[in-house]
Amino acid sequence: MYISCETFIEEFYRTLENKLAVVTGAASGMGKEITILYAKEGASVVVSDMNEAGAEEVVQEIEGSGGKAVAVVANVSKEDDVQNMIDTAVEKFGMLDILVNNAGIMDNFMLAVIVTDEMWDKVFAVNVYGVMRDTRKALNVSLEKGSGVIVNIASAAYTASKHAVVGYTKNVGFQYANKGIRVNAIAPGGVNTNIGTTMVEPDEFGMERATSGAGNNPRSGEPEEIANISLFLASDDASFVNGEVIRADAGWMAY
């Protein structure tokens, strides 16, 4: 039987063959594209999101292409949801190999002079505590196994919460470097996603200041482009990359 070179490579050299990945915020945007790409590259994936219908649609798309996936409804700001998410992954597919902390929300561009405790707590609950809880649970599994990869989605220029994620990435990456665990982050620039839907009545002045450099942005990115970087960081090709933040913004922050 004749097998084309392309088919041979696709079938036998998939980057994440036999890996298990959990991706949060995976029902849309960057999380969706990361999940689909991981599945295409041979990983079994847990599609985690608060949007159950959206997560199930991603699972159907993956399974329709011959991949393995399961949807888990989870709010990463809730400890019970995080525990269930990782436990379900392990029970369904085996030991965890990759965690992608992608779930995140925005802050209505609230200025420091008017930001409320409620908004501050809400953003940090998802963007910082969610990353910490996901990572803490995943580390307990990865340490038992002796290996693991964590990819965090930070930002090129965002809020205090994302700066916290950058520091956390570096710290955890260093702490567990000798345990076979790598932790890296991606800092995307402007990417065409629906994260703006997490804002309600954004502050006009805050939005003006936050977007004042938008004219220098060479172009907006696509979720697939961030997914490709995430694939590299999750793969053995990045075995010597740890505690690093990769900026992906088409040179926006370089001007």
CATH code of 5-250, in short, is 3.40.50.720
Place of tokens 């200025």: 111
Tell me, what amino acid is at 101?
N
Q: Which of 41, 49, 47, 35 is nearest to 19 (CA)?
A: 41
How sure is the predictor about 6, in pLDDT bands with cuts at 50, 70 and 90? low
User: Is 158 annotated in the active site?
Assistant: yes
Extents of the domains making up the chain:
5-250
Residues 153/101, Cβ–Cβ less than 8 Å: yes
Q: Which of 38, 158, 168, 176 is catalytic?
A: 158
What's the pLDDT tens digit per position in 94-114? 989 999 999 988 777 677 788
pLDDT in tens, 118-134: 988 998 999 999 999 99
Query: Which stretch of DSSP H or E encloses residue 49?
Result: strand 44-49
- For every residue of 118-168, DSSP letters joined together read HHHHHHHHHHTHHHHHHHHHHHHHHHHHT-EEEEEE--SS--HHHHHHHHH
| CA–CA distance, 154 with 169 (Å, rounded to integer) | 9
Q: How far is CA 158 from CA 49, 58, 171, in A?
A: 22, 28, 20
- Percentage of the residues of the chain whose pLDDT score is greater than 70: 80
pLDDT attached to residue 157? 43
